[in-house]
Structure 1
Amino acid sequence: MTSMTISGAVAHERQSEVHISARRARARRSAWIWFGRILVAVIVIGGWQWFTSAGWVDKFFFGQPSAIWDSLVHLFTVGTAFGTIWENLGVTAQEAFLGFLLGTLAGVVVGILFGSNKYLATVFGPYIKALNSVPRIVLGSIFIVAFGLGVFPKVLLAAVLVFFVVFFNAFQGVREADQNLIANVRVLGASPLQVARHVTIPSAMTWIIASLHTAFGFAIIGALVGEVLGAQHGIGLIISQAQGNFDPNTVFAAMVIMAVITLGAEYLLTLLERRLLKWRPPSRSEAQAI
């Protein structure tokens, strides 16, 4: 009994050492990753500032990091002719978020429906491809003309961009479902709704969740493009106005703001993905994810 107790204690100690070593390795890897990221940012921003200050790059066209910072400070302290930066940011965020939700919902429903029904996929396939080939800026112009300068046309444009990203992933996810498993479930008497709930949708969920990372970026693009084409408020309007005034620093400042918003949304989507797909064993690509 004593020898067994000693062996158990030794095994437990070794296991603890392995866990501690693994944590230290992860901490070192994380530190090196952040070091690399900060180093890249310092090199790019520092080089940009140096080249523009030396006159090797024309800051009239490409801006300058120090001037971009001044533009950011001005936007957050003084605001714009269209209201405070928070008001404009709220409008753009609202358009992107609503477009993201609407496009995701439509893409999931239609993608699963078409993926589960070969007849519908065959009939509507050419129309889906034709609509996907229409230039988005043309759609944005049509929506602006049809629905005015309000929020709705930007939401609609963002939803269209999101829809196709989510639709094709949901469609492919359903098609990748195990057909033998589906056949066995049907033999056991499962209804089409039960097959979709317990087999098809879980199979497509990985594809759908993965598409959301790209889809939110497209929602931001849709909202900004719509605002550039015509709006009363929004970050896109600030970009359009700065472009007309030959002010690249404000354009870059607005881009920085939207990049921060997008990175925040990406982080939240990553947390959502880990929570919804916690049953799935992590892959090598996920273990090395950015």
Structure 2
Amino acid sequence: MKLKELIDGIENLICINPSTLERYYEHSISLITQSFKCLKQTNEQNDNGLMFIMPTLNEINGTEIILDHSTINILLNSSLSALVVNDCLLINLLELAIFPVFKVLKIITTTNIIFGQLCNRYYNYPRRLIHQMIGVTGTNGKTTTTHMIEKVLLDAKLTVGLIGTLGYRYHSDENNINDYINTDYTTPNAWLLQTILNDMTNKYHIENIVIEVSSHSLILDRIYGCNFTVGILTNFTQDHLNFHQTMENYLQSKLLLFSKYLSKSSSSIAIINHDDPSYEYFINICSKNTKIYTYGLLKKNQNSFL
């Protein structure tokens, strides 16, 4: 996709110097990334089809990213077609070095959301071809639950794609991939996720997708554009505090699946573990249009008793 086609009309994306950016409009973008490792690799290959979205949060510890001279040198030596930054990083960038500003696009929202928007546009919004998208979140049990759902859908003779901790695989009328393809993440980053969804829908005509949705992916907006039909909570216990810092932050990240990424239509469904002490937070955050089902081992007014 050409750079102009990719960025044209994207809200909250501003060219610092539109007249000089035009010289790059016809560049074919082959990769959109937030990975410095990937940026280094493309520099070595002298690939100018790269758009780099500057991350704002460290994916390991959740701290804010501050540009240093080492990072600036990587950017200065890059052959990328465009760099996307927010206001704070733009100021930081211009203070540390003379950078080719004509390549810079400034945003007035989070870089993670723009990353998701651009990846969705690049692949022409694969979510539109998916009949049912099921997201499973929780501290434990995501992998087991997604595989149980995959089995149920396969028994119903439906085409299914599975994405999670073990990797991804798919089952269609023409193709069955039983071995997992590794992604290194429970929930892949926006570029890889949309690449997978594009392959599953356009190449293999998969209509039902089941995804493990991690707290990292929710807070970092990796699943932007997914619009889940069904959201499921397995449980909520202490974990990932090196990233979220507090249990409250961790809880708020999990709630995003139901408040932000679950469809607001009357066909949306939330399935909540009634035995979990946090279940009321999840029930109360859902849209009034969402059908809510609960389950558990203890008989406390849940819809399903196991």
TM-score (norm 1): 0.23
Larger Rg: 1
TM-score (norm 2): 0.22
> Which structure dedicates a bigger proportion of its chain to strand?
2
> Which structure dedicates a bigger proportion of its chain to helix?
1
Greater relative contact order (Cα < 8 A, sep 6+): 1
